Amino acid sequence: MQNIVIAIDGTSASGKSTNAKLVAQALGYVYVDTGAMYRTLAWYCLQHGVDIHNVRSVAAVCRRWKTRLTCVDSQVRLLVDGYFPEKEIRTVETSAAVPHVAAVPKVRDWMKRKQRECVQFGNLVMEGRDIGTNVFPETNFKFYLDASLAERTRRRVADGVQEDLARRDRRDSQRAAAPLMIPLGAVVVNNSGQTPAETSELILNEIQRRLAASDAPT
């Protein structure tokens, strides 16, 4: 793997997106939100009347929809028919559909291939739930973010979102296809009580340490 991939996995509301963006900005790397890709598929299914509870129907979408990757302002986007549904994928309806499409094995296979193509844009900071375990298990830069359930719930409420995070955790960790788990060799960061600046600094320090070690003479 020529380009560097920094994998940031973790539970819901653990600060993956915020910290991945901060780390990418600090390093001048490209940011990849893999969750947005799953959201785009969920939105597409809803728009086209696809039964999100029908595994075959959802899997069939991945074989026929017209997509391509692009990089805008150092962020990767998955375009559908040349369009990026930036606002549409953040609706309550789309959010509710995401776990159903994300659990489909064929979907995760398709997403893995598409996400690995992102290295065409350069060094990456990629966040999600299976980056270090499934998408880029070979990377030497793996981080797993978590926080207490109470802290994560507070963050969701502050964002105006009501979500049963304990149930989401169980669903993510128990799905058959690429379940949420701590990647082998990952640095585990519990950021309860930390600010994003503190968490991202911790991650950046570890990245710099590993980069320096990889450049050291043997």
Higher local confidence (pLDDT), 174 or 137: 137
Domain check: are 15 and 93 in the same one?
A: no
Mean pLDDT in residue range 154-167: 84
Q: Quick check: helix, strand or coil at residue 124? A: strand
pLDDT (0 to 100) of residue 217: 57
Tell me if residue 59 falls in helix, strand or coil: helix
Provide the CATH number for the domain around residue 71.
3.40.50.300
Structural domain tally of the chain?
Answer: 2
The token pair at 172 is 């993510």
Query: For the segment 94-117, what is each residue's pLDDT rounded down to a tens digit?
Result: 989 999 999 999 999 999 999 999
Q: Which of 121, 152, 176 is the last residue of a domain?
A: 121
Q: Count CA atoms within 13 Å of residue 15 on its CB side.
A: 26
pTM (2 d.p.): 0.92
pLDDT value at 146 more than 70:
yes
Q: Comparing 1 with 30, which gets the higher pLDDT?
A: 30
Same domain, 141 and 113: no
For residues 19 and 57, state if they share a domain. Answer: no
Considering the domain boundaries, does residue 217 fall inside one?
no
**82 and 5 in a common domain:** no
What is the mean predicted confidence (pLDDT) over 120-130? Answer: 97
Residue 67's region, left for phi above 0, alpha for psi from -120 to 50, else beta, is: beta
Domain for residue 218, yes or no? no
Q: What's the pLDDT score for residue 160?
A: 80
pLDDT digits (tens, 9 = 90+) for 52-67: 999 999 999 999 999 9
What average pLDDT does range 181-194 have in this prediction?
94
Parent domain of 168 = 1-29+122-212
